[in-house]
């Protein structure tokens, strides 16, 4: 696929401005484009990782292991070890990008959903690197825990046999599945 860019020329011969509104009925129509430039776009990576190793989240790569759940009267917890690596040769704007963790019971009930901004993977100026683990960070960490109130979840999950653990990359509300695994409730995976 190619992306073609250029400068818009109006029917009166002038260049279109950035402030131009297409809703303005009195404005001249765009007649052609000049100074075209073409970019060849790479093929979309649609591979879903299972096991959850080396999940590409450009410019980051994430790996998870020892994934387990626990449930008590007040909360459902997801605990895992993870490693996030950054490709230091790549610079990009990650505004609006999130990573979403989702657990669905085998009978289709969504048990937990938690998200983190990709921008939070790196320390921002003024942040203390020794704060308790409440954010995903670049590096290798053990025992990261996500806990959410379960409400009446205990009664909805009738048999508590297996669940699907899905990882999505989200941008402007659109999600792309990047990793998935099936695991037994209350068992720690490899």
Which residues sit opposite 176 in a β-bridge?
169
Residues 19 and 96 in one domain: no
CB 147 within 8 A of CB 76: yes
3-class secondary-structure state, position 156 = helix
Copy the structure tokens of residue 146: 């996500």
Same domain, residue pair 101 and 159: yes
Percent over 70 (pLDDT), the chain: 84
**DSSP strands (E only) in the chain:** 2-10, 30-40, 55-57, 60-71, 75-86, 97-105, 110-117, 139-149, 162-171, 174-184
- Mean per-residue pLDDT over the chain, rounded: 83
pLDDT of residue 157 exceeding 50, the answer is yes
Residue pLDDT, tens place only, 1-23: 888 888 888 888 888 876 666 66
Q: What is the mean pLDDT of residues 111-128?
A: 79
Check residues 62 and 130 and name the one with the higher pLDDT: 62
Helix (H) or strand (E) holding 153: helix 153-156
Q: Let me know whether 12 and 85 are in one domain.
A: no
25 and 97 part of one domain: no
64-103 confidence digits (pLDDT tens)? 999 998 887 778 888 999 999 998 888 888 888 999 999 8
Q: How many folded domains does the chain comprise?
A: 2
Strands 174-184 and 162-171: antiparallel
- Average pLDDT (127-145) is 77
pLDDT score for 126: 66
- More confident site: 24 or 183: 183
Identify the domain containing residue 74 by its residue range.
55-184
The residue among 20 and 53 whose pLDDT is bigger is 53
Find, among 149, 145, 94, 89, the residue nearest to 120 by Cα. 94
108 and 34 within one domain: no
Residue percentage of the chain with pLDDT more than 90: 27
> What pLDDT digit, counting tens, does each position of 31-52 carry?
888 888 888 877 776 778 888 9
Q: Compute the average pLDDT of residues 133-157.
A: 80
In this structure, is residue 101 part of a structural domain?
yes
Q: What CATH number corresponds to the domain at position 60?
A: 2.60.40
Q: Tell me, what's the pLDDT at 176?
A: 92
pLDDT at position 25 over 70: no
């Amino acid at each position: 696929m190619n992306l073609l860019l250029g400068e818009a020329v109006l029917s009166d011969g002038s260049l279109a401005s950035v402030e131009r509104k297409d809703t303005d009925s009195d404005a001249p129509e765009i007649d052609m484009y000049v100074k075209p430039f073409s970019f060849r776009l790479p093929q979309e990576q649609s591979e879903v990782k299972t096991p959850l190793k080396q999940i590409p989240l450009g410019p980051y790569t994430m790996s998870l292991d020892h994934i387990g759940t626990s449930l008590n009267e007040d909360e459902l917890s997801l605990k895992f070890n993870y490693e996030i690596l950054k490709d230091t040769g790549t610079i990009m704007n990650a505004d609006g990008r999130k990573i979403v963790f989702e657990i669905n019971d085998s009978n289709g009930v969504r048990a937990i959903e938690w998200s983190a901004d990709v921008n939070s993977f790196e320390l921002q100026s003024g942040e203390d690197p020794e704060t308790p683990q409440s954010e995903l960070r670049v590096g290798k960490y053990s025992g990261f825990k996500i806990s959410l109130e379960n409400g009446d979840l205990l009664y909805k999950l009738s048999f508590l046999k297996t669940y699907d653990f899905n990882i999505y990359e989200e941008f402007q509300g659109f999600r792309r599945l990047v990793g998935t695994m099936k695991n037994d409730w209350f068992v720690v995976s490899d």
